[in-house]
Amino acid sequence: MSLASALSTGDLDRLPSRRDEDWRWTDLRGLIRVAPPPSPAVAAVAANPALAALRETVIVYANGRVIEGDGIVASEGMLLRRFVSATEGTCHALEAPVEVAPGGRLLLIDSFEGQAGGYVADARFPVVVAEGGRLERVVLLDDAADAVSVGLTEVELLPGASFHQTVIASGAKRQRFETRVRHHGGGASVRLDGAYVLAGQRHSDQTSLVDHLERDGVTSQLTKGVVQDQARGVFQGRIVVAEGADGADARMGHHALILSDRAEVDAKPELEIWADDVACAHGNTVGALDEDALFYARSRGIPEAEARALLVGAFLGEAADRIEHIQARELAREWIAALLRGAA
């Protein structure tokens, strides 16, 4: 059951539906009644002004095909990958692997850009981070409002390695970004963060599964979301600590603000622990903006709209603040600020 297999075979019965527990808040089968035609090859795509400041190696995918760069990811330095959906009402799928060599250190910025509407896109990211390797990844999901966009990242994390990721989403008609990590411990560390800013009728789903397979793994997760209008945010986080994977330290937090009566947030945080000696915690809150804090700010002279923006920005900022790389952190902050300006 996956979007990719449904697209490649044309068999829409293969689409995940609300009957699949893991997809119950992100139904695709009820949504996609007719398979759209395959996306054509395109030679060039528009530049993205938001990324203009980055002077990194670039790989550009257009409609699922590499049109710039060779698609091969080095284990060192910084890399910007753009995944552009360029043709209205068509569908495509891609696979873009990443391997970080032992001791390698890579910053990866993955930008999803909907330059047309109504597309259906599927992306797979097999990732291996070898022993002692470090991968920090910032994912910007800027899909079209009427698009369907699904991404799945599967990470093999070897002992002593780290995989730190921040996903910032503005939603789509249906948008899902899923990350699965096989965590081999040995001091390896996972940071899986997210932020979503959803307006209109947009939907965004951030789902994750971290399997602690061996001893002494660390996982830290913080997702923050803001929804308004009739938007819908979905967070599903699952951390499993296998038998024998003692010494695991796993923390998960998801916190969302609902700014309108018709917006919705669905959250399912889960910890499944089969080992004895572990430190695990999770927290989940969904609520309105703190009216007391709002009045406090207004009583000091800050107009209501500005006070709201200040408080909401600070709320989301906590997720972006955890990005280690300074330039990537600034990029994430600016992107969040732009989303908030657009949503206001």
Partner 1 sequence: MLSIRDLHAAIDGKEILKGLDLEVPAGEVHAIMGPNGAGKSTLSYVLTGREGYDVTQGSATLDGEDLLSLEPNARAARGLFLSFQYPLEIPGVPALTFIRTALNAQRKARGEGEISAPAFLKLARESAARLKMDFEMLRRPLNVGFSGGEKKRMEILQMAMLSPRFLILDETDSGLDIDALRIVSDGVNALRSPARGMLVITHYQRLLDYVKPDRVHVLAGGRIVDSGGPELAHELERAGYDKYAREAA
Stretch of 123-131, 165-173, 228-236, 290-298 contacting partner 1, by CB under 8 A: 290-298
293 binds partner 1 (CB under 8 A): yes
Among 4, 31, 66, 311, binds partner 1 (CB under 8 A): 311
Cα–Cα distance measured from residue 155 to residue 52, given in angstroms and rounded to the nearest whole number: 29
Among 295, 324, 341, 344, binds partner 1 (CB under 8 A): 295
287 binds partner 1 (CB under 8 A): no
Shortest Å distance, C-beta 307 to partner 1: 8
Among 46, 261, 276, 299, binds partner 1 (CB under 8 A): 299
125 binds partner 1 (CB under 8 A): no
By beta-carbon proximity to partner 1, the closer residue of 274 and 296 is 296
Phi/psi at 2 (5° precision): -160, 160
Among 297, 337, 338, 340, binds partner 1 (CB under 8 A): 297
Shortest Å distance, C-beta 322 to partner 1: 12
- Would you state the structure tokens that stand for residue 29, as one six-digit string? 């089968």
Stretch of 2-10, 141-149, 300-308, 333-341 contacting partner 1, by CB under 8 A: 300-308
Stretch of 20-28, 32-40, 113-121, 304-312 contacting partner 1, by CB under 8 A: 304-312
What does the angle CA 156 – CA 162 – CA 164 come to, to the nearest 5 degrees?
A: 100
What does the angle CA 142 – CA 20 – CA 177 come to, to the nearest 5 degrees?
A: 20
* Residues 100 and 134 sit within 8 Å (Cβ to Cβ): yes
Among 52, 70, 292, 326, binds partner 1 (CB under 8 A): 292
By beta-carbon proximity to partner 1, the closer residue of 49 and 301 is 301
* Residues 152 and 123 sit within 8 Å (Cβ to Cβ): yes
Cα–Cα distance measured from residue 157 to residue 303, given in angstroms and rounded to the nearest whole number: 48
Residue owning tokens 């061996």: 214
Q: By CB under 8 A, how many residues form the interface with partner 1?
A: 24
- Would you state the structure tokens that stand for residue 42, as one six-digit string? 């395109």
334 binds partner 1 (CB under 8 A): no
304 binds partner 1 (CB under 8 A): yes
Shortest Å distance, C-beta 305 to partner 1: 10
| Half-sphere exposure at residue 222, Cβ-oriented, CA atoms within 13 angstroms | 11
Which own/partner pairs from 307-315 qualify as long-range (CB within 8 Å, at least 24 positions apart)? 309/340, 309/344, 312/226, 312/257, 312/259, 312/340, 313/337, 313/340, 315/224, 315/226, 315/255, 315/257
CA distances from 234 to 139, 177, 223, 254 (A): 17, 10, 11, 10
Among 287, 314, 330, 342, binds partner 1 (CB under 8 A): 314
Among 9, 270, 296, 334, binds partner 1 (CB under 8 A): 296
Kindly list the residues in this chain that would bind partner 1 in the complex (CB under 8 A).
290-293, 295-304, 306-307, 310-311, 313-315, 317-318, 321
